[in-house]
Amino acid sequence: MKVILSLTIIFTAIALTSTNTPCDHGALDIPDKWIDMVDSCYDQMKNQVQEELKASIQYLAMGAHFSKDTVNRPGFAKFFFNSASEERQHALKLISYLLMRGKLTTVSDLIKKNIVPKITIWHDGLRALKDALELEGNVTQKIQNVIKVCETPLRADEKKFNDYHLVDYLTGEFLEEQYKGQQELAGKVSNLEKMKLTHKQLGEFMFDKKLLEE
C-alpha cells in the first residue's frame, strides 16, 4: 500500500513539473501553397461577415419591436426573427468558406463591437417590410462588390488573381438567395399594400395572421 502511495506521489510530481505536455507542440510547419486567396479579397469577405451580422441585428430589432405588447404583431415578429437567424447563418457560411480556404488565422477582427441596428422605429408592418427590402438591396450590392474585388483584386502585387471558386460560390449561392429573398419581400409588400388599400388597419391585422401561419 505504501509503495503504491509513494509511486503515485512520484508520478504526480513528474507530471506536474514536466513542461513537455502532449499539447505543447510549439510552432507548426504546414506548407501554405494551398492558401491562395489574396488579401484584398479576404478583407472584402471579412467585411461581408460584418454586413451579414449587421443585417441579423437589424432583423432582431424588428422582431423585438413587433413582439412588444403595445404593437403585438406575432406574425411579423416571427418573420423578422426568422430573417435574423438566416442572416446569422449567412455570416457563419462566409466564416466556414474562409476556413475551407485556410484564410481564417485569427478571429480578432471578425466580429466588431459596434454592430447596432440602424432603424429602431417603424410606423407599421408595411414600413418594416419596405425597410427590409431596402436592406436586402443594400446587402446585394455589397455582395456584388465582394465579387468584383475577388474577380479582379485591387492591388497590383496580387497579380490579378481571379478567385474563380469564391466568385462562383457568391454568384451562384449567395446572390441566388438574395434575389429570391428580395422577390419574396417585394411580393409581401405588394400583398399588404393591396390589403391596406381596401381594409385599412384591418388589412395589416389579417396579414399578420397569414404571416403567423407560414
Ligand X SMILES: *[C@@H]1O[C@H](CO)[C@@H](O)[C@H](O)[C@H]1NC(C)=O
142 binds Fe ion (CB under 5 A): no
Q: How many helices (H) and strands (E) does the chain have?
A: 7, 0
Task: Tell me whether residue 37 or residue 178 sits nearer to Fe ion (CB atom).
Answer: 178
CA-to-CA separations, 35 to 45, 100, 168, in angstroms, rounded: 15, 10, 18
Minimum CB distance to ligand X smaller for 133 or for 149: 133
What does 90 interact with, of Fe ion, ligand X, none (CB < 5 to 8 A by kind)? Answer: Fe ion
Q: Which of 86, 131, 151, 158 touches ligand X by CB under 6 A? A: 131
Nearer to ligand X by Cβ, of 42 and 80: the residue is 80
Rule CB under 6 A: say whether 134 interacts with ligand X.
yes
Q: What's the CA gap between 43 and 177, in Å, rounded? A: 22
What is the end-to-end Cα distance of the chain in Å, rounded? 70
Task: Report the partner that residue 134 touches, choosing among ligand X, Fe ion, none (CB closer than 5 to 8 A by kind).
Answer: ligand X
Find which of ligand X, Fe ion, none residue 131 binds, CB within 5 to 8 Å per kind: ligand X
Q: Please give the radius of gyration of the chain, using alpha carbons only, rounded to the nearest integer.
A: 25
Please state the closest distance from residue 131 (CB atom) to ligand X, in A. Answer: 5
- Cell, residue 29: 510547419
CB 163 within 8 A of CB 149: no
Which of 12, 72, 120, 138 is close enough to bind ligand X by CB under 6 A? 138
CA distances from 213 to 78, 115, 123, 184 (A): 10, 31, 23, 16
The residue whose grid cell reads 418573420 is: 79
- Could you tell me the three cell numbers for 37? 486567396
Four-CA torsion 96, 104, 139, 208, nearest 10 degrees: 40
Q: Does residue 140 interact with ligand X by CB under 6 A?
A: no
Selected range binding ligand X among 29-37, 44-52, 102-110, 127-135, rule: CB under 6 A: 127-135
Q: Does 118 bind ligand X (CB under 6 A)?
A: yes
Q: Which of 77, 135, 167, 192 binds ligand X (CB under 6 A)?
A: 135
Which residues of the chain form contacts with ligand X (CB under 6 A)? 118, 131, 134-135, 138
Where is the binding site for Fe cation, in residues? Answer: 52, 87, 90, 136, 178
